[in-house]
Amino acid sequence: MSTPTTHVVRPAGAGHETLFVLLLCLMILAVAGSVVAWRHESLAASSVGSHQLDARRDLSASEQGIYADLRVTLDEIHLLQQEQQTLPTPVALAEEGFAPFAQDASSVSRGAHQWQLLDTKAYFGQSQTAAVAGSFLMRLTAGDEAPDIWLHRAADLQAPTDLTDAALESAGWKLIVAQFDAGVTRQHRH
- pLDDT per residue, tens digit, the chain (190 aa), is 677 788 777 766 667 788 889 999 999 999 999 998 888 776 555 677 788 898 888 999 999 999 999 999 998 998 998 898 889 999 999 999 998 999 888 888 999 999 999 988 899 999 999 899 999 999 987 666 678 999 999 988 999 999 999 999 999 999 999 876 555 555 544 4
Q: What CA–CA distance (Å, rounded) separates 80 from 94?
A: 13
pTM as predicted: 0.71
In degrees and rounded to multiples of 5, residue 53 shows phi and psi of -125, 140
